[in-house]
């Protein structure tokens, strides 16, 4: 159902009757933050549903959240740490890799889920009104749970490897936010494009895989020759991954490529993708119900 704008905000009947005007819109429309706020409970329920349903009818349940990054860590340790002997600073390779996989797994899950989110919600979009932004937003939010669980596993690893906790860890939320903004920005573009072009479904898994190797997740950025490092900063996920290592493992594990100006470039780029994504999403959402 489609509730009218004021549905959420008028707690009882005494509020003045809201008026909805329905007419064709053209050109750019602003992001209706008001409407998003009114529908916050729906956002909450969609996130809750995603989480609740994700591991239903699996024998291992939430254990999958832990097993996936651990298995990747083992695989990459074997490949890069043992066979290729990739440098990992002063840190043992497994914890070095896990610190990179932690934000990367979140990012790749959030991006994949958000890009297919609108198409997967076709049944809602064609039957009920609500701000469509809630759909990709709930996808990037519900992926945070996995990040939290695998973060706990990381805590255990830190104890095992006797890595001291420093005050740098306080910067983690900002880094998670940067990963979220990047995932949401690309997710908005891709989910809206996916409504019209189902090619997106085939493109995303493939692109995410390539992207991972372009990001210093399982290798140190010091492997990249000096003059190409500027290219790394064009990838906001470089800042996130390097930042995670810096915050969790100390500078010993982080490469020298991490610097304030580079992080600033990452932030600016991530914001640019988010804003353009919002514009594109808002411009196309009015036809979602007709063509999805």
Site residues (vs another protein, CB under 8 A): 1-4, 6-8, 10-11, 17-25, 41-42, 44-45, 48-49, 52-53, 56-57, 123-130, 196-199, 286-287, 289-291
List CB contacts of 178: < 8 A, sequence separation 6 or more: 236, 239, 240, 243, 266, 267, 270
> Shortest distance, CB of residue 108 to another protein, whole angstroms?
22
Please say whether the beta carbons of 75 and 55 come within 8 A.
no
CB of residue 10 vs another protein: minimum separation in angstroms? 7
CA-to-CA distance for 38 and 279, rounded, in angstroms?
Answer: 21
> Which of residues 52 and 256 has its CB atom nearest to another protein in the complex?
52
Note every long-range contact of 261-265, with CB atoms under 8 Å and residues 24 or more positions apart, other chains counting. Answer: 262/230, 262/232, 262/233, 262/238, 263/233, 263/239, 265/233, 265/234
Nearer to another protein, 206 or 228 (CB): 206
Closest distance to another protein from the beta carbon of 284 (Å): 12
- Rounded least distance, CB 49 to another protein, Å: 6
For 127, residues 6+ apart whose C-beta sits below 8 A from its C-beta are: none
Nearest distance from residue 40's CB to another protein, in Å?
10
Sign of CA dihedral 136, 142, 147, 150: negative
What minimum distance in Å lies between the beta carbon of 127 and another protein? 4
CB of 62 to another protein, least distance (A): 15
Please enumerate in sequence order all residues whose Cβ is within 8 A of that of 112, keeping only pairs 6 or more positions apart, or say none: 204, 205, 208
Minimum CB distance to another protein smaller for 124 or for 278: 124
Phi-psi category of 224—alpha, beta or left, where left has phi over 0 and alpha has psi -120 to 50? Answer: beta
Whose Cβ is closer to another protein: residue 20's or residue 276's?
A: 20
Q: Using an 8 Å Cβ cutoff, are 28 and 279 in contact?
A: yes
Task: Decide whether 94 or 136 has the Cβ nearer to another protein.
Answer: 136
Closest C-alpha among 73, 117, 64 to residue 91? 73
Nearer to another protein, 136 or 239 (CB): 136
* Geometric angle at alpha carbon 114, from 108 and 118, rounded to 5°: 155
Nearer to another protein, 41 or 226 (CB): 41
Residue among 19 and 210 whose Cβ is closer to another protein: 19
Q: How far is the CB of 136 from another protein (least distance, A)?
A: 16
């Amino acid at each position: 159902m489609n509730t009218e704008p004021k549905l959420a905000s008028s707690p009882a009947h005494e509020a003045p009757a809201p008026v909805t005007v329905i007419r064709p819109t053209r050109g750019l429309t602003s992001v209706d933050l008001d409407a998003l706020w009114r529908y916050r409970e729906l956002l909450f329920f969609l996130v809750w549903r995603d989480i609740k349903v994700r591991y239903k009818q699996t024998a291992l349940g939430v254990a999958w959240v832990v097993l996936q990054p651990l298995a990747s860590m083992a695989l990459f340790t074997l490949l890069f740490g043992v066979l290729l002997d990739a440098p990992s600073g002063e840190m043992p390779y497994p914890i070095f890799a896990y610190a990179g996989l932690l934000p990367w797994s979140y990012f790749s899950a959030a991006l994949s889920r958000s890009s297919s989110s609108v198409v997967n919600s076709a049944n809602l979009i064609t039957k009920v009104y609500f701000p469509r932004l809630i759909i990709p937003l709930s996808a990037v939010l519900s992926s945070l749970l996995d990040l939290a669980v695998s973060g706990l596993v990381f805590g255990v690893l830190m104890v095992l490897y006797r890595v001291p906790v420093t005050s740098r860890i306080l910067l983690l939320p900002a880094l998670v936010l940067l990963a979220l903004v990047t995932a949401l920005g690309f997710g908005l573009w891709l989910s809206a494009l996916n409504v019209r072009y189902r090619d997106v479904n085939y493109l995303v898994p493939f692109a995410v895989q390539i992207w991972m190797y372009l990001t210093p997740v399982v290798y140190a950025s010091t492997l990249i020759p000096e003059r190409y490092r500027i290219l790394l900063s064009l990838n906001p996920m470089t800042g996130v991954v390097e930042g995670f290592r810096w915050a969790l493992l100390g500078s010993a594990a982080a490469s020298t490529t991490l610097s304030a100006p580079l992080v600033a470039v990452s932030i600016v780029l991530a914001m640019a993708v988010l804003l353009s994504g919002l514009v594109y999403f808002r411009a196309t959402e009015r036809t979602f119900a007709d063509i999805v």
